[in-house]
Amino acid sequence: MAQTIPVAVSGPFPRSLDYLPPETDTPPVVGARVRVPLGRRQMVGMVTGPPRDPGLAGHRLRQITQVLDLQPLLDSELLGLISWSARYYHHPIGDCIATALPARLRQGYPAEPASETRWQLTPAGDEADIEALRRRAPRQAALLDALRSTDDLPAGQLAGLGGDARGALQRLVERGYATAVERADYGLITGRGTEGAPALNPEQAQATSALQPGAGHQVTLVDGVTGSGKTEVYLDAIARATAMGLQSLVIVPEIGLTPQLVSRFQARLSAKIAVLHSGLADGERLNAWLAAGSGAADVIIGTRSAVFAPLRRPGLIIVDEEHDASLKQQEGFRYSARDLAVMRAHRLECPIAMGTATPSLESLANARAGRYTHYRLTERAGNARPPQLRLLDMRGQPTTEGLSAPLLSTVRQHLDNDGQVLLFLNRRGFSPTLICHECGWLAECDRCDARYTYHRGRSRLHCHHCDRETPVPAVCPSCNSVDLRPLGLGTERIEGALQTALPDTPMVRIDRDSTRQRGRFEQHMAAAQRGEAQLLLGTQMLAKGHHLPAVTLVAIINADQGLFGADFRSPERLAQLVIQVAGRAGRAERAGEVVIQTHQPEHPLLQTLIHGGYPAFAEAALTEREAAGLPPARAMALIRAEAPGQTAPLNFLKAAAATLPTDSSVEVLGPYPSPMERRAGRYRAQLMLQANQRGTLQALLTDWLPGVSALPMARRVRWSVDVDPAEML
DNA sequence: ATCTGCATCATG
DNA sequence: ATGATGCAGATG
């Protein structure tokens, strides 16, 4: 029987498909892309293994049409990681590979970087009599001089040599003195490395000593309060990796965080830096990806999918803000970049650092179990004092638009002392609801189980779940009353209230609405940093990693909304948010004050956070999860299903649950409708599976899911598996 | 008789 | 996923 080649193609195929070797091309190597027929289409696929005996006997086999890569595009390390994650997350292998590749490569473009024409001296040019030339052709001579002083000249630099150098160059080429060479242009950022490294404090030195590129695998949790210099720890380790000729891969949660980190790396490191994120054009992304794989880049910094960047000479992996939920992909291939980074470091036998001021409970549990080494950075640079957290009891207080009188007077005090004030409210728009004062009608989205958010500036109702927008009705659709009133607080409303309460105080509002246009976020942030705006008001955009050294007061306007979330992770998210926002205050000499407005000042979560800080909160939360049998104490997977009709998702999940083995130790919950059952016109439901051991759950999923796919009802719903879900919604 | 929409099926 | 196929009901 003829041997076949396993090829992964995107589609609902849990494993690679078998194809016969190509007619004319030489057989592809493992990790090469190939063009293959599938049905009546041609697809780009990836060779995932050596030739084998076909799994399906008597099946009509088809042939590889074309081999697209002569060299492997994915080496065995990366292909191994992707295959592992396809199995772990129970997602089709072709889709996983597609996630790992830049769009251009997915589409079958050649794996070649952009290139640039450069002009180089030939041996004849080296020996040419430049003085003789100088008299008759001074321009050519000058050009020859320039070529002799460097390895090569980029085409773009010719203009700088005065006059039209193109003709002269043409003559030099004709004489055989110069020649054009094409050189790869990866678009890398060149680190200047001009800025010196500050001396590390003992805590930093200890953490960085655990990060030894080349000395085997170790996971280091760098748990450092805001301002404690986590980045210095990264920089120290990266510099050592670079000096050893090894690459560093740095994963950050959001694009917003990349520019600052990049400029800091650029100032400090003598290294070539590649940036990989979704904001890049297809070509730029391809270049950066190839720079990582060719070894042209020393440092690769990128978002989630950068965990799949190819590495020619891997030495170190860093995950920044490891607690951040956006490291987990929330649709399709639902992988965790943080967890895969750890797995990759393990397979590469290289060190990995995970940094945060508010460690995830998962990482803390791993540290407790001895799998990660936990380093705490408690000293803040430049004698900055830790901010003081204080609860402000809202009960019975007079308020104007959600701002209590005591809060307003604290704000005034800080403003009078030339302090900057940051007000945080995690809700954009004017109000989260619009209600009829006559009959109680609520403006609800007709495609979701949710209320519209009222945006007064745009005079629109906007559903934040499905993005639907409608004009604000002039009268109540139910009773024709004109008395429609905003209910609840958003940043837009607070902004108005502040303008009334504190006229003449320059203020900026920073949320998704006020920063919609390109560059507005940076613009606002710069105004804040220069001190032009004394009042800063915003959503969680404000909480992430920006230095605001003049801020002396941070106020969290409504902590209560995070206290009673549907998700078992809501408390953890709230605690992280509070600490992250609080971290914006008092970074310079002046100690910061943090005020948290709440109607629940006795709430144990807030009490623990105020008196014991994040470590005490995390300790308590871990104990709670233990008692409740929730992650990270146990392993969890969700089977999600959705369809236009209400019953189909639940029926499918019931049918699926009915095929579960009864003798398994895996606990089954549901199926039940999702917390927000209807979203964007589709009904959603889920089935929860839990086990004490990851392996138990994995084994069950592996045995059980193929049968679930084969259920007739599986074709009538859209369904997916979420291993280690980050959100229960 | 032909068209249209939807469910079902196969893809190596 | 995506495209092919078959069938039921609608259509001038």
Specify the residue for token string 């074309």: A66
CATH classification at residue A155: 1.10.10
A729 inside domain: no
**CB of residue A39 closer than 7 A to nucleic acid strand C?**
yes
Query: Taking the CB of residue A89, how many other CB atoms lie within 10 A of it?
Result: 22
* Radius of gyration, alpha carbons of chain A: 30
How far is the C-alpha of A138 from the C-alpha of A86, rounded, in Å?
64
A709 with A606, same domain?
no
Gap from A9 CA to C1 C1', in Å?
A: 11
Residues 6+ apart with CB under 8 A from A128: A144, A175, A177
Report if residue A462 sits inside a domain: no
* One domain, residues A292 and A217: yes
Tell me the average pLDDT of chain A: 90
Backbone torsions φ then ψ of A619, nearest 5 degrees:
-60, -50
pLDDT in tens, A654-705: 999 999 999 889 999 989 999 999 998 889 999 999 999 999 999 999 999 9
For residue A545, pLDDT over 60 is answered with: no
Nucleotide nearest to A95 (CA to C1'): C1
The per-residue pLDDT for A155 is 66
Q: Are residues A171 and A69 part of one domain?
A: no
| DSSP run (H or E) holding A318 | strand A314-320
For residue A298, tell me if it sits in a domain. Answer: yes
What's the pLDDT tens digit per position in A325-349? 999 999 999 999 999 999 999 999 9
A503 touches strand C (CB under 7 A): no
Per-residue model confidence (pLDDT) at position A235: 97
Return the closest nucleotide (C1') to the Cα of A10: C1
Q: How big, in percent rounded to 5, are the helix, strand and coil portions of chain A?
A: 35, 25, 40
Q: What's the CA A704/C1' C8 distance, rounded, in angstroms? A: 36
In a domain, A629, yes or no: no
- Residue A574 sits in the same domain as residue A620: yes
Number of separate helices (H) and strands (E) present in chain A: 20, 33
pLDDT digit string, tens, across residues A376-401: 998 887 766 778 889 999 999 988 88
Give distance CA A444 / C1' B3 (Å): 39
8 A C-beta contact, residue A653 and residue A720: no
Residues A207 and A231 in one domain: yes
Average pLDDT over residues A439-467: 92
What are A4-22's pLDDT values in tens digits? 999 999 988 999 999 999 9
Dihedral sign of CA atoms A296, A297, A302, A305 in order: positive
A90 burial level (CB within 10 Å; 0-12, 13-18, 19+): buried
Stated in angstroms, how far is A445 CA from B6 C1'? 28
Whether A226 and A314 map to the same domain: the answer is: yes
Q: For residue A627, name the pLDDT band (cuts at 50, 70, 90).
A: very high
The residue type of A215 is: A
Sheet with A218-224, strands from edge to edge, namely A189-190, A272-276, A299-302, A247-251, A314-320, A351-356, A218-224, A372-377
Nucleotide with minimal C1' distance from the CA of A40 is C3
| Percentage of chain A modeled with pLDDT above 90 | 67
Helices (H), A477-601: 491-501, 520-529, 570-582
Residues around strand B, C-beta < 7 Å:
A 11-12, 15-20, 36-39, 54-56, 59-62, 712, 715-716
Residues A494 and A611 in one domain: yes
| Count of C-beta atoms within a 10 Å radius of residue A676 | 13
Measured CA A377 to C1' C3 distance, in angstroms: 58
Spanning CA of A70 to C1' of C2, the rounded length in angstroms is 29
Same domain, A210 and A356: yes
Using the structure block, give the residue that is written with the tokens 């400029």: A263
* CA of A715, C1' of C8: distance in angstroms: 20
Helix (H, G, I), strand (E, B) or coil at A67: strand
Q: Where a domain ends, among A124, A153, A185?
A: A185
Instruction: Determine the Cα–Cα distance for residues A531 and A525; give it in Å rounded to an integer.
Output: 10
Nucleotides on chain B that have an atom closer than 7 A to a protein CB are 8-12
Q: Domain span at residue A554?
A: 388-431+488-624
Nearest-CA residue relative to C1' of B11: A39
Q: Are residues A508 and A584 in the same domain?
A: yes
Residues 602-621 of A with CB under 7 A from strand C: none
pLDDT tens sequence across A162-197 = 556 777 778 877 877 788 888 889 999 999 988 888
Kind and range of the H or E run holding A42: strand A41-47
Place of tokens 């006059």: A163
pLDDT band at A228 (very low <50, low <70, confident <90, very high): confident
Determine contact, residues A333/A95, Cβ cutoff 8 Å.
Answer: yes
Tokens, residue A134: 């100088």
Tell if A718 CB is < 7 Å from nucleic strand C.
yes
How many domains does the structure of chain A reveal?
5
Of A144-153, A183-192, A293-302, A354-363, the poorest mean pLDDT is in A144-153
- Given a contact cutoff of 8 angstroms between Cβ atoms, the answer to whether A410 and A553 are in contact is yes
DSSP letter assigned to residue A160: G
Bases of strand C lying below 7 A from some protein CB: 1-4
Question: Closest protein residue to C1 using CA and C1' atoms?
Answer: A11
- Strand C contacted by A11 CB (< 7 A): yes
The whole-number Å distance from A720's CA to C5's C1' is 27
Do A178 and A68 lie in one domain? The reply is: no
Domain boundary among A106, A131, A153: A106
Report the C-alpha gap between A286 and A299 in whole angstroms.
16
Residue A607 contacts residue A574 (beta carbons within 8 Å): no
Share of chain A above pLDDT 70, in %: 96
Q: Does A683 fall in a domain?
A: yes
**Torsions phi, psi of A182, nearest 5?**
-90, 130
**A108 touches A33 (CB < 8 A):** yes
> Is the predicted pLDDT of residue A261 greater than 60, yes or no?
yes
Q: How far is the CA of A276 from the C1' of B10 (A)?
A: 38
CA of A332, C1' of C1: distance in angstroms:
12
Residue A292 CA: distances (Å) to CA of A42, A246, A350: 29, 11, 17
For residue A632, is the peptide bond before it cis, meaning its omega torsion is within 30 degrees of 0? yes
Q: How much is the pLDDT for A546?
A: 73
Q: Which nucleotide is nearest to A715 (CA to C1')?
A: B8
Q: Name the band, by pLDDT with cuts 50, 70 and 90, for residue A252.
A: very high
**Cβ of residue A12 near strand C, that is under 7 Å?**
yes
Q: What pLDDT shows up at residue A164? A: 63
Q: Is the pTM for the entire model greater than 0.85?
A: yes
Q: Residue A534, by phi and psi: left (phi above 0), alpha (psi -120 to 50) or beta?
A: alpha
- What Cα–Cα distance (Å) separates residue A651 from each residue in A551, A685, A712, A716? 54, 10, 11, 10
SS3 state at A576: helix
Nucleotide with minimal C1' distance from the CA of A712 is B8
Q: Is residue A382 part of a domain?
A: no
Q: Are A677 and A683 in contact (CB under 8 A)?
A: yes
Q: Which nucleotide is nearest to A718 (CA to C1')?
A: C1
State the nearest residue by CA to the C1' of B7.
Answer: A716
- Tell me how far apart the alpha carbons of residues A621 and A605 are, in angstroms, rounded to a whole number: 9
**pLDDT, mean of residues A576-583:** 90
Q: Check: CB of residue A622 under 8 Å from CB of residue A614.
A: no
A447 in any annotated domain: no
* DSSP bridge partners of A66: A35
- Report the protein residue whose CA lies nearest the C1' of nucleotide B8: A715
DSSP A305: G
Cα A561 to chain centroid, rounded? 25
Closest nucleotide over all strands to A38 (CA to C1'): B11
Secondary structure element (H or E) that encloses residue A353, with its range: strand A351-356
CATH number at A694 reads 3.30.70.360
**What value, to the nearest 5°, has the Cα angle with vertex A540 and ends A535 and A545?**
85
User: Domain boundary residue among A78, A106, A134?
Assistant: A106
Residue at A461 is within a domain: no
- Residue A568 sits at the vertex; the CA angle it makes with A562 and A572, to the nearest 5 degrees, is 55
- HSE at residue A612, side-chain half, CA atoms within 13 A, is 14
Q: Which nucleotide, over all strands, has the C1' atom closest to the CA of A4?
A: B12
CA of A43, C1' of B12: distance in angstroms? 13
pLDDT of residue A157: 66
Strands A403-404, A399-400: pairing kind: antiparallel
Q: How many CB atoms lie within 10 A of CB A482?
A: 11
Å from A481 (CA) to B2 (C1')? 53
A570: domain CATH number? 3.40.50.300
Q: Which residue has the tokens 């002392």?
A: A417
- CATH for A42: 3.40.1440.60
**Is A96 known as a binding-site position?**
no
Rounded CA gap, A533 and A694, in Å?
A: 50
Q: Is the dihedral of CA A365, A564, A491, A674 positive or negative?
A: positive
Instruction: Work out if A40's Cβ lies within 7 angstroms of strand C.
Output: yes
Is A350 annotated in a binding site? The answer is: no
Residues A359 and A227 reside in one and the same domain: yes
Angle between helices A230-243 and A202-209 (to 10 degrees): 40
Cα–Cα distances in angstroms (integers) from residue A156 to residues A119, A161, A166, A185, A588, in the given order:
10, 10, 11, 13, 44
Residues A576 and A655 placed together within one structural domain of the fold: no
- Summarize the confidence of residues A707-725 as an average pLDDT: 91
Is A491 in contact with A456 (CB distance < 8 Å)? no
Nucleic strand C near CB of residue A41 (< 7 Å):
yes
